[in-house]
Structure 1
């Protein structure tokens, strides 16, 4: 996910913890993915911040997402884990989720510049819990967090930047969620499965 030598794992609180090597190169997680128009809006915000604060991190245009719950990191992606995660995904019942990010801030633990906000937080938290329960029932760790914080990571950078309210919030309605395989150290996401949010 990060192009830096160290990887920052989206852990239970969604804010990342540092993994000192790429021994576990394959990550599996559930997420929302924005539309192309929203990706472009987020990338423009990231570019503005890069220029304003002389940041060196590159915007993650091709892998922008909102993590719902982390499944695990593995040296090689296990087929049984993928099967169990798909079982968990099929248990979710939710209407489409109206997401709104109206702030930009830095998560110091992960050195990540992120978009965040309250819009969509409650329904997405319910999906987070549903997936955690489904994962537990399918034989996986539940990974449910009391500190779940929906956010979209724009880039990674060592510099500190001040939190700011956005003049124009980043808003869209998520009509599906996805199971994603990420190859760590590369800006590469592979969609394994997807489920509609129908209500």
Structure 2
């Protein structure tokens, strides 16, 4: 399967077809423990009430922290899946704690701004693990990891800009990481494989 590279704002001449839209996404993620996921949903409700955001909430089953985005594709690329699994198999790491203590909107775009949970020192171990996974993926042929990685949990998308706000800390211990197949436009995540984190 061919990886899709989309250039925002790219123009196409009459008579030439626009490139097909990607249908599938692959990424590695950490998924919150059930009690943490419930706390995230409660916190999201408080933020919606306080700031009047009305964007559709992301389903509790799809809440996650992205570790590495592997690409958007037409169809599920088995070669990429196999390479990602090989990289994940090489990881040796123990469980680590994750803690989010702030909420804010990402500024990037004027519409559909992501409202996210963020953290500071409580995400240091997660960031270190992400670097380890990134090196393994680079060896597997996925290119260099994002040097500006910001661990976050996306709660919803909304046009309203929510300022940074301290929240009651939401944390859990990550005992595994997962390879996720996202069906774009269908709000569906399929967990293809899971790897336990053990000392």
Could you tell me the TM-score, scaled by structure 2's length? Answer: 0.84
Q: 1:22 Cα deviation (Å)?
A: 7.6
Which of the residues 52, 55, 67 maps onto 2:53? 55
The structure-2 alpha-carbon separation of the partners of 1:94 and 1:45, relative to structure 1 and needing over 3 Å to count, comes to same
**Larger CA deviation: 131-140 vs 101-110:** 131-140
Matched residue, 1:165: 166
Residue 123 to residue 42, structure 1, CA distance change in 2 (3 Å): same
Instruction: Quote the offset at 1:18 in angstroms.
Output: 7.2
Aligned mates of 2:121, 2:23 — CA distance in 1: 33
- The SS at the match of 2:136 is helix
Larger Rg computed on CA atoms: 2
Q: Does 1:192 align with 2:192?
A: yes
Following superposition, the deviation at residue 136 of structure 1 comes to 2.1
Gaps in structure 2 of 5+ consecutive residues: 1-6, 11-18
SS in 2 for 1:73: strand
Q: Does residue 1:94 correspond to 2:93, yes or no?
A: yes
Q: What does residue 127 of structure 1 align with?
A: 129
Give, in whole Å, the separation in 2 of the partners of 1:45 and 1:59. 12
- SS at 2:38 equivalent: helix
- For residues 115 and 99 of structure 1, what CA distance do their matches in structure 2 show? 12
Aligned-CA RMSD value = 2.1
Q: Does 1:65 align with 2:30?
A: no
For 2:141 and 2:173, the matched residues in 1 are separated by 31
Q: Give the number of aligned pairs.
A: 181
Q: Say whether 1:28 aligns with 2:32.
A: no
Give ranges in structure 1 of 5+ residues lacking alignment: 1-16
On the 8 A contact 2:98/2:125 being kept in 1, the answer is: no
Deviates more, 1:76-85 or 1:36-45: 36-45
Report the CA distance between 1:119 and its aligned residue: 4.1
CA–CA distance in 2 between the matches of 1:18 and 1:196? 38
Q: For 1:109-146, what per-residue CA distance to the aligned partner results, in whole angstroms no more than 9, with x for missing partners?
A: 1611111112443322222222222222222223x122
1:18–1:108 distance in 2 versus 1, CA, 3 Å? farther
**What is aligned with 2:147?**
146
- The answer for the alignment partner of 2:180 in structure 1 is 180
